[in-house]
Chains A and B, each alone.
Chain A
Amino acid sequence: MHMSRTHAGVQVNTDACFNFEFDGKTLQGCEGDTIASALLANGVVVIGRGFKYHRPRGVWGSWTEEPNAIVQVTLNKRTLPNCLATTTLLETGMQVKSVNAFPSAAFDIKGGLNLLRRWLGAGFYYKTFMWPNWHLFEPMIRKMAGLGAVSEQCFDDYVSDQLHETCDVLVVGAGPAGLVAARTAAEAGESVWLVDDHHTLGATHFYHEFIEGVAARSWIATQLTAIIAAGATVYSSTTAFGIYDHQLVGLMQLQGFAQAPRLIRLRASRIILATGAIDRPLLFRNNDLPGIFSQSAALDYLSNYGVSVGKRVGLASVHNADQVHDVFAKHAIEVVALNPQDEALSAIGRKQIQSVNTSTARESVDALVVCGGLTPTIHLWSHQQGGLRWQKNIHAFVPNREQAPAGLFVVGAAAGIYTLEDALSDAVHVAIGRASTPNLAAVSIPMPSAKTQNRDSQWIDVQHDVTVKDVDVAVQENYASVEHVKRYTTLGMAVDQGKTSNMLGLAALADKQKVSIPEVGITTFRPPFVPVPLVTYGGQHTHLHSKPPKRLVLEPTHRALNAALCEYGGWLRPGWYGDGRMDEHVQQEVLMTREQAGILDASALGKIEVMGPDARNFLNFVYYNRLDNLQPGHIRYGFMLTEGGSVYDDGVVWCMDEHRFLVSCSSSHVAGVEQLLESWRQDGNNPNQIYVHNATSQWATITVTGPKALDIVNALPLPIELNMAEFKHMRFLEATYQNHTLRIARVSFSGEISFELSVPTTQALMLWNDLLRIGKPLQAGPLGLEAMSVMRAEKGYIIVGKDTDGETMPHDLGFTGPRANKTAAFVGDRSLHTKTAQSSSRRQWVGFTVPKDQPMIPVGAHLVNGGDKPKSIGVVTSSYFSPTLQQPIALGLLEAGALRLGEQVSVWHMGQQSRAKVVSPCFYDVSGARLHAG
């Protein structure tokens, strides 16, 4: 077969030619070529091998419907597997390789698999490799299957831009109907977007020489000029790959080879689909041979790329055959007319077609052009569950306008309108929002069915190697539903998602079941229409950007002090200070705090103000603990529960005055607590009597904790001097510091005397520096969160979410008072008295110890009952080496733990068992003498 350019072709620039490689051979292509058009121009016919049987495969289509021509491409040291040769623009120096073929597409050593295909039909793998175990065979089979090899390269710059846009009217597809719809809407004053996935707009129309009496090319140019003049946004290389809820359209805009596509999320009030129709193959013997082309592809290559698919071409077409005949004749291509409807055709050839047998003759050809009808491209319509209707005269499912999804319209061939005049006038009506009932009966297209002989050589899905016989087998094995047959045979499940094969499969199934195609139904189309790289959806939202951390106002100061910044509940906070080993720093910071004092940036603590006449009753309802009797100047520790009774957050509530409270919740729960407060405020309370204000980011809080804390705070330039006898544990007061409000709260998470000093964030740096300066001669210094975490564990304080889970109730943690005594209603109250909540085997909060010389108990280890088959009766939630006690300590939840104090329990971790002693969760200052010192 000799293929070469018959003329320049409107889409390629034959003056700008360059070299590229295919399977190691140097070839020539031109600017504007796709890989496929260039290969065809060079006479390359075999481009790949079948997925399963490794039969030779050539180009079938000329765009996204292409099932065969998948290649691996390297350019500028970047390799991408699975590029569609028909849509990838050729560039200078591209190295193109066939996939699923070794050493090359033309000579594939696995070609012999084809001889075994009688035994390798649908279900072969499922049935054969069951015994003893599929996993035994899986690696070998996986190695034999698949297309292309994933490159190990990682492109750091492969990051998608993402845009969010809106418009009145989006038109998808720049064929004649789409152009007319876009122009009409734009000239009516609507904001219009016109997108087409082709690299050149208006290049998809090659059937008609004239449109509305004007030469087709100049008619298209005129429309485009008018559309742009009317202010529309027009994009080529832009695929509408999916329509999602409320008219959101995903647009993927190609940026060149190995460049991340741009994602545009376009919200359109109206979406007009002018997506055209795709040629159907015909079923005959060896219809998968290289050299067999779809009719529209053959015309596309001829008119746009100047490439003729052959010199003596067989034409087996049920639609527009006369027109095609004329076009070929004009380019001096000899045409052999064939009758696919009545004749059982048979293609002959080894690696490419050489002749076609009919019942009466053997016709020598170098290519065969086929059209088995048209399938309207209704994918986007179906993404929104648009109704379909079987249009008998054209044998196609067409969109049912009476069951149109909101805002969705369809025109042109996609609507099943195959005459130009009807399509154009209908598009005008739709574009201006007028009802239109197009005539779909003007054209009749038959649908030739599969022939009775050679059913294992009539290929339905050439990408997944599915034949008519495979469908027969599926039906024989009682797969009745089209969705089941699809999955059993893998028909339409390849990369092309059945763009060409779907209807053939339905027809073969209907034929075998002796029912009509509409009775068989249709499989569901889901986004995306074409493969979309996953990074496109993610865009810039990777690594830190996927969940930006909240940052402290003093972060630069901590960095200057060599802090190890880690993420804690969404905040970036100092874990410890200094280089080197973490555990050494943590031990040192604990001992410093226990002996002198530590200075901790606690600004991440929640500070939500709740105000108003109903504020007190409101908080009393939202909190587990009583807050109705909290006095001004006092602070109370408490839990917030879910309505299911589990502990959601713990924190302290300050009573500022009768109508004003400060909720200081956990730093990781600020957003959640605020949401909870707001939802109860607005739904169930009078929102005019309560006001919730999240002031977390307006205050910086620095905690000074340790025996020297009082000396340090009293050395600050304050108008008052703290007196421990008066300023007791769980109290707060307000003072001024450098002419700004300073709130001092005596609360503790370390077990030592602690003062939380809160100032407006503008004063944070001054306060921090003052405290460090004052602390230095007292051997007090910065304290990180890891050391604080150790100290709170020594003291037996919980971290909600670490030490508790979704089942933990307050009485499991030893907080039983309100459950027994609180008379007012509170969130979660009734759930604390269900049968489950009253169970004696609930998991309760306890501590664990092991002898000093033994290793720490791993966090996450299970506590198990003895016996041969250990059963989990609890879990270790926190575990540390206590620098204060010089021994490992752990905390956890254990069934009926409070009754087991003093007992030994088995600890199970990764198959290893050890023993630990159950103890009270408080390991340090059990009497509270240090905490309450006054």
Chain B
Amino acid sequence: MQQFPCPFCGERDEREFHFLAEAGKERPNTTVSIDDETWARYLYKQRNEKGEVQEIWMHLTCREVFLLKRHSVTMAVSESVSLRQGC
């Protein structure tokens, strides 16, 4: 079982976390007309990279949503950043 650092609570077991999305996905402006391809890219296309990845996770016990940088092969975690920073 992996351990992830919640920016609010610190190191916790993987089972307390929930994967939300790959980082860097911008929701298209749906109030104007957008084609299927643009919407599908946002909704379904995953990079699923081998190596360093950036993902959005939620720590279910405190509800903190954060950016997690980790390695998808070695499982090494390099950093977690609260999305609230800079607000």
Contact = CB atoms under 8 A, between A and B. Distances in A.
B45 to A, nearest CB: 13
A683 B34 CA distance: 22
Contacts of B77: 246
A826 B29 CA distance: 10
Interface string A803-835: 000000000000000000001111001110011
Given A244-B1, A406-B74, 7 more contacts: A643-B43, A678-B63, A682-B84, A683-B65, A823-B31, A824-B31, A830-B28
A644 interface: yes
A687 B1 CA distance: 31
Contacts of B63: 674-675, 678, 692
Contacts, number: 63
A618 B30 CA distance: 15
Contacts of B14: 245
A830 B65 contact: no
B4 to A, nearest CB: 9
Nearest to B60: A675
B58 A675 contact: yes
A248 B83 contact: no
Residue picked from B3, B65, B76, most chain A C-beta under 10 Å: B65
A687 B74 contact: no
B58 A679 contact: yes
A826 B56 CA distance: 21
Interface in A648-675: 674-675
Contact of A830 (B34, B58, B84): B34
A245 B3 CA distance: 8
Given A675-B58, A825-B30, A834 B36 contact: yes
A855 interface: no
A867 interface: no
B58 A678 contact: yes
Tell me the interface secondary structure of chain A in the complex.
mixed
B2 A679 contact: no
A902 to B, nearest CB: 36
B41 to A, nearest CB: 12
Interface in A10-53: none
Size bin of chain B's contact surface: 20 to 34
Contact of B75 (A245, A265, A829): A245
B9 interface: no
A830 B1 contact: no
Contacts of A683: 20-21, 56, 65, 83
29 contacts: A244-B1, A245-B1, A245-B2, A245-B14, A245-B75, A246-B2, A246-B3, A248-B1, A265-B1, A267-B3, A406-B74, A406-B76, A644-B43, A674-B63, A675-B58, A675-B60, A675-B63, A678-B63, A682-B83, A683-B56, A823-B31, A825-B29, A825-B31, A829-B30, A830-B30, A830-B34, A831-B43, A834-B39, A835-B36
A687 B75 contact: no
Nearest to A692: B63
A684 interface: yes
A432 to B, nearest CB: 24
List 5 tightest A-B contacts by C-beta distance, closest first: A682-B65, A245-B2, A825-B30, A678-B63, A830-B39
Interface string B20-42: 11000001111100101001000
Contacts of A679: 20, 56, 58, 65
A927 interface: no
A688 interface: yes
Nearest to A267: B3
A688 B21 CA distance: 22
A643 B31 CA distance: 15
A738 interface: no
A387 to B, nearest CB: 12
Contacts of A824: 31
A688 B87 contact: yes
A643 B21 CA distance: 12
A686 interface: yes
A386 B51 CA distance: 17
B35 to A, nearest CB: 10
Contact of B18 (A643, A644, A675): A675
